[in-house]
Amino acid sequence: MTMSVDLPEGLEREIDSEVGKGRYKSKSEFIRDAVRRLLDERNKIDHNRLSVEAQRRIDEARETDEEYSSEEVKNELGIEN
C-alpha cells in the first residue's frame, strides 16, 4: 500500500539524517519501523492497563469472597474470545 505523509521540514531532516547514517535503507523503512514501535508501545500500555484492572478485580473478589467465571471476567474487561 502506498501512502503520502506531510512532515515538517525539521522532522524530515531528522529522518534523512538517520537514512544517511545507514541506520535505515530508506525513508519508508524508517517510517515503517517508527509506526511498528508506536503500535507495540500502545499495545504494551493497553495490556498493562488490562493487567492492572484484572488484578484489582481479583483482589476485590477475594475481599468479598465472590466468584467469577473466566467468561464473566473477560466480558467485563472487554476481552474478546
Domain annotation covers residue 8: no
Helix H segments across the chain?
9-20, 27-64, 70-77
Asked if the structure places residue 30 within a domain, the reply is no
What mean pLDDT do residues 56-78 have? 75
The reply to whether the predicted model has a pTM over 0.85 is: no
Question: Is 18 a member of any domain?
Answer: no
- Inside any domain, residue 2: no
The verdict on residue 17 lying in a domain is no
Structural domain tally of the chain? 1
Tell whether 66 is covered by a domain: yes
Kindly report which listed range (10-14, 49-53, 75-79) carries the lowest average pLDDT score.
Answer: 75-79
Domain annotation covers residue 52 = yes
Task: Using pLDDT thresholds of 50, 70 and 90, give the confidence band for residue 31.
Answer: very high
More confident site: 64 or 17? 17
- Phi/psi at 29 (5° precision): -60, -40
Domain of residue 51, residue span: 36-81
Local confidence band at 77 (pLDDT 50, 70, 90 cut-offs): confident
